[in-house]
Homo-oligomer: A and B are copies of this chain.
Amino acid sequence: MADKIKAAYLDGAKNLVLSTADRPEIKSDEALVKVKSVGICGSDVMYYRTGGTKKRPITGPYILGHEVSGIVEDKGSDVKNLNIGDRVAVEPGITCGRCQYCKSGKYNLCKDVKFLATPPVDGALVEYISHKADLLYPLPDEISFDEGALVEPSSVAFYSVVKSGLKTAKSSLVLGAGPIGLLVFKMAKLLGSFPIGVVDVDDNRLALAKKLGADFTINVKDREIVKAVYDSGFGDEYDVVFECTGVGSVISSSVFLVKKGGHLSMVGIFDGTAPIRTKEIIDREITITGTYRFSNTFPDVIGLMERGMLEVRSLITHYFSLDEAARAFDIADKRSENCIKIIIRVG
């Protein structure tokens, strides 16, 4: 009985229940992490809403959560990079290490990855997880557990901005002011892009973007996005456009907002087909990149947070305990209470 730990399970669409799990064993290259903070991600909400997808079905009680920080409570015999008691951020994807993608540094493309909270692999809304030690990154004192949980979504943003080739003194437009869009905006600002615009349909989120330093914001609610941007007076086209909405019509519009020779970075996932005028891609010589999760980002993102160069605290609007997980997901699902990033403090 002493080995039973508490966990929040998704048991069918929109049904989050508390129950127990076995305390995990650790292998020689793993550490036992007492989970502290877990952020709720859009993909968590998607699984919550659907109860699983055709491609990734959920076949029983299932644990969500992959934005995770915690404390190392035990470690295997081969683990050299960690000490018991270390406060850590958790890189959630365990990859094979042998395939061409792992060997060439693009381990985010490994097809044998086991990624927390990607079915059938359970996530971290549970008191303890075991995890590969070399995917646990010590957090300096300057970074709280809540912020440590956001190293993961910050990595998504960091990776897409680095891969976009956005450079100091070049302009950027961020489509979508959800957590990822706002983090992308912050990264773009960090490396000296200007001007930076943020587009959304939610005045509250746009106000936050403005407060965080966006050069301009455009609310495109009930408006055609290309026309709305053209009419804004802030310029017609941008060196790099970040598509962070995952909305088909916005994706269709995005190619018209990229400058000749510019870059369109696709970050938001849309599970459908978007009609795209590919002649624009040719005539403007646009480069489009899709970015899938991230690779090799945790040390850099932690360094940026440690030095105060990346501030993420302002994105967190709600905190809940593990016992309140159902309510947290209900708010996240409905986007009620002007929520942006919700943190569940597990331990």
Name the CB-closest residue of B to A292: B285
Docked-complex contact A276 and B279, CB < 8 angstroms:
no
Is A207's beta carbon under 8 Å from chain B? no
| Residues in B neighbouring A292, C-beta threshold 8 A | 282-285
Is A168's beta carbon under 8 Å from chain B? yes
Indicate which residue in B272, B283, B289 contacts A290 across the interface (CB closer than 8 Å): B283
Indicate which residue in B104, B134, B269, B273 contacts A282 across the interface (CB closer than 8 Å): B269
**For residues 96 through 135 of chain A, which have their beta carbon under 8 Å from a beta carbon of chain B?**
97-98, 100-101, 103-109, 111, 134
Docked-complex contact B278 and A270, CB < 8 angstroms:
yes
Q: Which of the candidate stretches A38-46, A229-237, A296-304, A328-336 sits at the interface with the other chain? A: A296-304
A275-B278 contact given A192-B192, A300-B168, CB 8 Å threshold: no
The contact size tier of chain A is 35 or more
**For residues 131 through 167 of chain A, which have their beta carbon under 8 Å from a beta carbon of chain B?**
134, 158, 162, 167
Is A3's beta carbon under 8 Å from chain B? no
Is A190's beta carbon under 8 Å from chain B? yes
Docked-complex contact B105 and A104, CB < 8 angstroms:
yes
Name the CB-closest residue of B to A248: B278
Indicate which residue in B98, B168, B190 contacts A187 across the interface (CB closer than 8 Å): B168
Is A267's beta carbon under 8 Å from chain B? yes
State the CA gap A329–B295 with chains docked (Å).
45
Docked-complex contact A300 and B100, CB < 8 angstroms:
no
Name the CB-closest residue of B to A163: B285
Docked-complex contact A291 and B301, CB < 8 angstroms:
no
Q: Which of A81, A100, A279, A303 has the most CB of B within 10 A?
A: A279
Smallest CB separation, A247 vs chain B (Å): 11
Docked-complex contact B285 and A279, CB < 8 angstroms:
no
By a beta-carbon cutoff of 8 Å, the part of chain A in contact with chain B is 81, 97-98, 100-101, 103-109, 111, 134, 158, 162, 167-170, 187, 190-192, 194, 251-252, 260-261, 266-267, 269-292, 295-296, 299-301, 303-304, 307, 309
Q: Which 9 A-B pairs have the closest CB atoms?
A: A105-B105, A169-B300, A281-B290, A282-B290, A273-B275, A288-B288, A104-B105, A98-B134, A109-B260
